[in-house]
Structure 1
Amino acid sequence: MANWKKLLSGTVLAVGLLSSQMSTAAHAADKVRIALLVKSLGNGFFDAAHKGADEAAKELGNVEVIYTGPTSTTASGQIDIINSLIAQKVNAIAVSANDGDALVPSLKKAMQRGITVISWDSAVAKPGREMHLAPSSDALIGNMCDKLAADALPGGKGDVAILSATATSTNQNTWIAEMKKALPKYPGVNVVTTVYGDDLADKSYRETEGILKTYPNVKVIVAPTSVGIVAAAQAVEDAGKVGQVFVTGLGLPSELAGHVDKGSVKSFAIWNPIDLGYAATTIAYELATKKAEAKPGAEIPIGRMGKTKLDENDQAAMADPFVYDKSNVHEFAKIF
C-alpha cells in the first residue's frame, strides 16, 4: 500500500510539473511577436523609434518586440531579414522600407503565411502591406523643408541643394517631390541639385563636400534625413563655411544641438520618433490580434496617442513636423 501511495504521489507530482510546463509554454506562445524592421541599425532615429516600440510593448503586456535591420540601407538586406522572420513565424512585421517596390514579393509571402504586415516611416507599395503609417503628411513635410530653406537664406533668396538618403528611398523621394510642388510659394528658393548620401555618414559627408565645391553659390543644404543632416553640418563646419552655408532639414535634437550651437544649423524639423515607433507597434498589435482591420475609413487605436484614421489608400498620418532651433533644441535633446 505504501509503495502504491508513493507511486500515486509521484504520478501526481509528474502530472503537476508537466501541467506547469505546458502552462508556461502556452503563456510564451501567447506572446505577440512584432518585428520592427528598420532601414539600418546604428541610426539614431530608429534607435529612438525602438524605445517607443518597447514602451508600447510594456503597455500592451503580452508583446515581444524584435528590433532588427540590415547593417547598410539596402533592399536585399531587408529581404533576407524578412525571409528569416517568416521562418521564425512572427505575428507581425512593421517595416520602414529601403525600397518600397523591391520588398513587395517577400512581404506578400509573409502575409500569405498569416503574418500582419504594415509599413511605417518609409512606405511599402500597397500590394506588400496592409497599411502604411506616415510620420506626418507628405505635403506638410515638403512644405516645411521649403520653409526652413527660405528662412535660412539671406533675404529668403538664393541657391539651395538637397542631400537625400538613397535614390530608391520611398519617403525621401516623396518629400522631395512635395518640396518641388510647394516651391512656387517660396520664389526665392532656387534648387540647383539633389544628391544622395545613401543614409551613410561618410558618403553624405563626401556628397556635401561635392556640393560645396561644385556649387559655390549654394547658401543652404536641405537634408530630409537624420543621417545626412548631421554629416552635412559637420562638412560645412570642417570647410570653414559656418555663416556662409546653412544646413537644415529633418534631424534629431540630440544629434544636432551641438551644430545649432556652432551655427551651421539655424533650425530643423522632425516628428517624435519615439511616438512613431510606439504607434507602429501598437497598430501592428491591433491588426495582428484582429482587434482592428486595415481598410479605408477605419479608425485604429494607438494607445496614449488616441486614434489614427486610414485614407482611401490605407494610409494614416501621425503628426505635423515640429521646428527646433536654439530656443528649444537643448530641452528636447534630453529626450531624443
Structure 2
Amino acid sequence: MSRTNRVLTAFLAVTLVAGCGSTTKGSDPGAGGASTGTSRAADPNAPIKPGLKIAFLPKEIDNPYEVIVDNGGIAAVKELGGEGKEVGPSDASASSQVSYINTLIQQRQDAIVIAANDPNAVAPALKDAMSKGIPVVTYDSDAAPDARQVFVNQADSEEIGRSQVRLISQQIGGTGKIAILSATPNATNQNTWIQFMKDELTKPEYKGIELVKVAYGDDDDQKSFQEAQALLQSIPDLKGIISPTTVGISAAARYMSTSPYKGKVKLTGLGTPNQMRQFVKDGTVTEFALWDPAELGYLAGYAASALASGQISGKEGETLKAGKLGERKIGKNGEIILGPPTVFNAGNIDKYNF
C-alpha cells in the first residue's frame, strides 16, 4: 500500500469512529438527557427536571390492581411538576407491550415505567429506549436486569412466597393437597414467588402438605375463573388454593362463593381489600395479603423522575428521595423495596380502601 493510501485509510477510519460515537448512550437531549447509568455519574443534589413526561405501561390496561398502581405513579409525577400517563394492551402479552414501548420511544417520553409480562421478550425494546436516553423503571414484575435501571419491588420476593405458604398452612391445619393459581407462565414475579413457595414446602413443618398443580389464568378474569373451577372439580380432595395474583384470587373467590366448595376449600393469595371484602365477609376467604399498590406506583414514579433528572443512576447504595414515603436505598441489581405486605381478614379489612 502506498503512503498516500495509508494516510487516506487512517483518515477514513478516524472519521468513521467519530461518526459512530456522535450518539452516545444516554445523551439524547430530546429524551430529557437521562443517564442510563453508564454515561455519567448521578448527582443526588440535581433538581427534578420540570415538565417530565413519564409513561406507565402495565401488564394489562384493564387490570384493576395495576390501574391503582399506575394512578399512584401518575400522582407522584404530577407532584413533581411532570405529566404522567397510563398506556397499555388489553391482553397480558409481551408482544403487545413491545409495540407500546416502541411507540413511547417515538414519542420521546422522558421515562418508561413497566410491569413486564415477560422478562426477556420486552428486553430488546427496553434496551433500545435506554440507548436513546429514556430511562426504564420496572415495577411488580421485573424485566431482564440489563434492560432497566431500577426495579421497584413491592416487597421482598422471598418473604412474599414463604408467607403465602404459611397462610395456607394455618388455614388447612398443616395437612392436605394444595394448588397454585398463577398469572402468566412467564411472569417474573409470579415465578419467583412460586419458587420460594416450593422451597418453603420442603421444610419439615410442611411435610403434610402436597403441592399437586400450578395452573395459569393469564391474569384474565374469565380464564382464572375457569381454571379455579377446573382445579376444584379435577382434584376432589383439594384442601387449599394459593393465588398470588389479584385477578386470580378474586375470580377464584367469585366461583367458590356460590359453589359447594365454599368453607371447605381454603383460598388465600394476593388481592386488594376492595376486591375481596365481600368474600371475606361471606366466609369464602379467611385471610389474604397485599401491599398498598398506590404506594408501589408512587415509589416507581419518584424513581423514574429521579432517573430522568440524573439524581440517581440505579447503582447499589444510592439513595432515592421518595416524597411522603421518605428515603429508600437502592439495593443489589438496582432493586428498591416498598415494604412488607399487610395481611387482611375480617378484623381489619374495613380499615382499607383500595
Scaled by the length of structure 2, what TM-score is found? 0.84
Q: C-alpha separation between the residues in 1 aligned to 2:188 and 2:348?
A: 30
Q: Contact 2:268–2:288 at 8 Å: present in 1 too? A: yes
Shift of 1:192: 0.9
- Tell me the equivalent position of 2:274: 254
Q: CA deviation at 1:50?
A: 2.4
Q: Deviations over 1:216-271 (max 9, x none)?
A: 11111100000000011111123221111121100000000001111111000000
CA distance in 1, matches of 2:142, 2:278: 31
1:108 maps to what in 2?
127
Matches within 5 A, 1:1-336: 30-60=50-80, 62-153=81-172, 155-183=173-201, 184=203, 185-332=205-352, 335-336=353-354
Partner secondary structure for residue 350 of structure 2: helix
Instruction: Give the aligned residue type for 2:52.
Output: V
Following the alignment from structure 1 to structure 2, what is the Cα–Cα distance between the partners of residues 266 and 205? 19
Q: 2:197 and 2:341 mapped to 1: Cα distance?
A: 14
- Amino acid corresponding to residue 34 of structure 1 in structure 2: I
Verify the 8 A CA contact 2:273 2:344 in the aligned structure 1. Answer: yes
Once residues 182 and 313 of structure 2 are traced to their aligned partners in structure 1, the CA distance between those partners, rounded to angstroms, is 34
Moved more, 44-53 or 84-93: 44-53
**Are the aligned partners of 2:78 and 2:84 in contact in 1 as well (CA < 8 Å)?**
no
AA at the equivalent of 2:244: P
CA contact (8 A) 1:149 1:189 kept: no
CA distance in 2, matches of 1:59, 1:188: 51
- Distance (Å, rounded) in 2 between the aligned partners of 1:167 and 1:201: 16
* Distance (whole Å) between structure 1 residues aligned to residue 206 and residue 330 of structure 2: 31
CA distance, structure 2, for counterparts of residue 260 and residue 31 of structure 1: 43
**Which whole-Å deviations, capped at 9, do the CAs of 1:300-328 have from their partners, x for residues lacking one?**
11111112222232212110111000001
Q: Deviations over 1:253-295 (max 9, x none)?
A: 0000001111111000000001001000011001101122210
Deviations 1:179-204 (A, max 9, x none): 11112153333211100000001100
How many pairs align?
A: 304
- Which letter does structure 2 place at the counterpart of 1:110? A
- Equivalents in 2 of 1:54, 1:108: separation in Å? 23
2:32 corresponds to:
none
Shift of 1:84: 0.3
More deviation, 305-314/260-269 = 305-314
Q: Provide the rounded CA distance (Å) in 1 between the counterparts of 2:171 and 2:77.
A: 40
- 8 Å CA contact retained: 2:119, 2:187: yes
Q: Which has the higher helix share?
A: 1
Please give the alpha-carbon distance, in whole angstroms, between the structure 2 residues aligned to 1:259 and 1:281: 32
Shift of 1:171: 0.4
The whole-number CA distance in structure 2 between the counterparts of 1:293 and 1:218 is 48
For 1:302 and 1:99, locate their aligned partners in 2 and report how far apart those are by CA, in whole Å: 27
Separation of aligned partners in 2, 1:65 and 1:188: 49
Distance 2:334 2:311 in 1: 17
Q: How many angstroms does 1:30 deviate by?
A: 4.5
Aligned to 2:333, the other structure's residue is in SS state coil
8 Å Cα contact 2:77-2:305 kept in structure 1: no
Deviates more, 1:281-290 or 1:293-302: 293-302
Instruction: Tell me, in whole angstroms, the C-alpha distance in 1 between the residues paired with 2:156 and 2:86.
Output: 26
Task: Select between 270-279 and 36-45 the one with higher mean Cα deviation.
Answer: 36-45
Q: Is contact 2:59–2:88 with CA below 8 Å preserved after alignment?
A: yes
Structure 2 counterpart SS, 1:313: helix
Does the CA contact (< 8 Å) of 2:179 and 2:211 recur in 1? Answer: yes
Relative contact order, CA 8 A, sep 6+: which one is greater?
A: 2
Give the CA RMSD over aligned residues: 1.3
Paired residue for 1:26?
Answer: none
Does structure 1 conserve the Cα–Cα contact (< 8 Å) formed by 2:116 and 2:141?
Answer: yes
Write the deviation string for residues 146-200 of structure 1: whole angstroms up to 9, x where unpaired. Answer: 01111210x2211111000000011000000011111215333321110000000
